[in-house]
A and B are shown apart, each in its own frame.
Chain A
Amino acid sequence: MGKLKMTAKVVSQETLATDVYSLVLEAPEIASQAIAGQFVSVYTHDGSKMLPRPISLCGIDREAGTLRLVYRVVGFGTKEFSQLAAGDTVDILGPLGNGFMKSDKKAILIGGGIGIPPMLQLAKELDCEKSVVLGYRDEIFLNEEFEPYAQVYMSSEDGQHGVKGNVIDAIKEYGVDGAVIYACGPTPMLRGIKAYAMEKGIECQISMEEKMACGVGACLACVWKTKEIAEHSQVHNSRRCNDGPVFYAEEVEL
């Protein structure tokens, strides 16, 4: 079927933490083909706002035909989304991006802050031995939902939950090991994870966000510096939306 823009019906919305919301949408045409690590672009109802907001997929339920988006309110668009209620509609474009390249190697799934949601769908899809490391600033969310799928380790900046510090501190403290890292979170965290993976010689896939316009690879707004000349661009740039958002850490400059 491929990518499409559609009007999705809101099934439910709940608050998970301060400014963090969980939105379930009825979108069978997208749910039927989406995989972990992909995202959808969500449009506001305000006609003066032209660009959609890219939001990762926290859950994909093919049977129910639903998508779950867990996002943080950071501006006008996400504020509007947070006010959607069951029965409302919202336009979305998807599924977008490449998704994680899944293997059966022993895995460490790492999520930081609002980079945690896509790791939940990945935890469900990965059929292998795995651990989950979640990094928070203070308030925690989604952590309990990972528990059926893997051992969960946490870090928080204030030390209230898990190790005081960041996700690398948690990995070292708890002796978490694996042969492949899948990670999503803020750039400083990804930089630390890349360095850790290179030091340990572990395969590492990272997913990162950037402001996007088209979301489908046409406008070249969301590029990320690459180590080698990228095939599509013929320069040291890859499109996060279409070539990513998941890249092998060694391919990109952080």
Chain B
Amino acid sequence: MSDKINMSVDIAGVTLKNPITVASGTFGSGMEYSEFVDLSQLGAVTTKGVANIPWPGNPTPRIAETYGGMMNAIGLQNPGIDVFKKRDIPFLRDYDTKIIVNVCGKSKEDYVDCVEKLGDCDVDLLEINVSCPNVKEGGIAFGQQPDALYDITKAVKAAAKQPIIMKLSPNVTDITEMARAAEAGGADAVSLINTLTGMKIDVNRRTFAVANKTAGVSGPAIHPIAVRMVYQVANAIKLPIIGMGGVATTEDALEMIMVGASAVAVGTANFHNPYATVEIIKGIEEYMKKNSISDIHELIGCVK
């Protein structure tokens, strides 16, 4: 029976054996979770954001717990592209999974530099993080204005050897405007949503719970917002979508797929359950069997 089920999906010409990947920043480069999960079972591994040079990130505390999730302001700490290429990519390449490299930067030149350095690298897709709410100088500056997003998409696309996925911010008035700007700029796919900007006060210390003052809210609490935005974007553009935002269960992932996501990323749920990704993959397969669905494409966007 299972050999009759097709769970593979296509993102910009790259075939994922199933629609499940992880949300950037929640899974390192896969090494830390490889003790829990056989990475070869995942459709793709999306790595933590990497820049052209090492970034130290924000001061601690960097996280706080919230109802149905958490908030973080890690500040895109990363070892820089040179070490990442030498250490993280060869590790991942030993697994039978696709590699999506999340790229961050503070200026157009940073993004282009990093993407160019990935040109000779055996990775499948680049996810361009223009939506991190926790870094003052950059990232989000490109993700909240359609013109700026169009420009950065065009510049990155011209420099990239691999297909590019623009990761969209939910901290905008109309996410479909941003999706259209990414499409017009030449993006091959979009992913959404990044975290929602929030704030939490530590009433005992009478200060901000997270040192950065504001932090990105993630987890099941934001899932309905993410589903709504994926639905809107799916109806606004033709590009494939990687849906994310609070996905913790099979049902959550199916919701994303039914409103138009071709692939789904599991993020904060990994911290709650390190086996979440493989459990969801199995759950989707069981759902398809139970409902006599032979091809996952019957589900993608089936709710209009």
Contacts and interface: CB of A to CB of B under 8 A. Distances in A.
Interface of A: 2-5, 43, 48-52, 93, 210-224, 232-237, 242
A214 B269 CA distance: 10
B287 interface: no
Interface stretch (B149-157, B186-194, B272-280): B272-280
Interface string B67-92: 11110101001111001000000000
Contacts of B26: 214, 218-219
Contacts of B275: 5
12 contacts: A2-B35, A50-B268, A211-B63, A214-B26, A218-B27, A218-B32, A220-B48, A220-B74, A223-B77, A232-B79, A233-B79, A235-B79
B57 A4 contact: no
A143 to B, nearest CB: 29
Contacts of A5: 36, 273-275
Contacts of B80: 234
Contacts of A216: 32-33, 35, 274
A3 B273 CA distance: 13
Closest 6 CB pairs of A and B: A234-B79, A218-B28, A218-B32, A234-B54, A235-B56, A221-B63
A220 B77 contact: yes
Given A210-B61, A218-B26, A223-B57, A50 B36 contact: no
B202 to A, nearest CB: 11
A77 to B, nearest CB: 9
Interface in B122-156: none
Nearest to B25: A219
Nearest to B83: A234
Chain A CB count within 10 A is highest, among B26, B67, B77, B270, for B77
Given A5-B36, A218-B27, A50 B74 contact: no
A108 B271 CA distance: 36
Instruction: Identify whether the interface residues of B are mostly helix, strand, loop, or mixed.
Output: loop
A213 B65 CA distance: 9
A145 B62 CA distance: 37
Which of A43, A214, A217 is packed against the most chain B CB atoms within 10 Å?
A214
Contact of B36 (A3, A49, A52, A224): A3
A242 B26 CA distance: 15
Interface of A is mostly: loop
Nearest to A53: B65
B62 A221 contact: yes
B62 A93 contact: no
B60 A223 contact: yes
B72 to A, nearest CB: 7
B68 A50 contact: yes
B79 A49 contact: no
Nearest to A223: B60
A168 to B, nearest CB: 26
B79 A51 contact: no
A223 B56 CA distance: 10
A142 B80 CA distance: 46
Residue from the set A93, A219, A236 with the largest chain B CB neighbour count within 10 Å: A219
Nearest to B65: A51
Interface in B15-73: 25-28, 32-33, 35-36, 48, 54-57, 60-65, 67-70, 72
B220 interface: yes
B219 interface: yes
Nearest to A217: B32
A93 B274 contact: yes
A219 B72 contact: yes
A211 B64 contact: yes
Contacts of B219: 50
B274 A223 contact: no
A43 B187 CA distance: 40
B213 to A, nearest CB: 16
A199 B80 CA distance: 37
A5 B276 CA distance: 11
Nearest to B53: A234
B63 A237 contact: no
Q: Could you say which of B27, B28, B271, B273 has the most chain A C-beta atoms within 10 Å of its C-beta?
A: B271
Question: For A216, A224, A237, which residue has the most chain B Cβ atoms within 10 angstroms?
Answer: A216
A236 B56 contact: yes
A213 B32 CA distance: 13
B70 A51 contact: yes
Contacts of A51: 63, 65, 70, 271-272
A221 B64 CA distance: 10
Contact of B32 (A214, A221, A233, A236): A214
Nearest to B77: A220
Contacts of A233: 54, 77, 79
A235 B65 contact: no
A156 B271 CA distance: 38
B72 A213 contact: yes
B220 A50 contact: yes
Given A5-B275, A220-B77, 19 more contacts: A5-B273, A43-B272, A49-B65, A50-B69, A50-B269, A210-B60, A213-B72, A213-B268, A214-B270, A219-B26, A220-B74, A223-B60, A223-B77, A224-B60, A232-B79, A233-B54, A233-B77, A233-B79, A234-B54
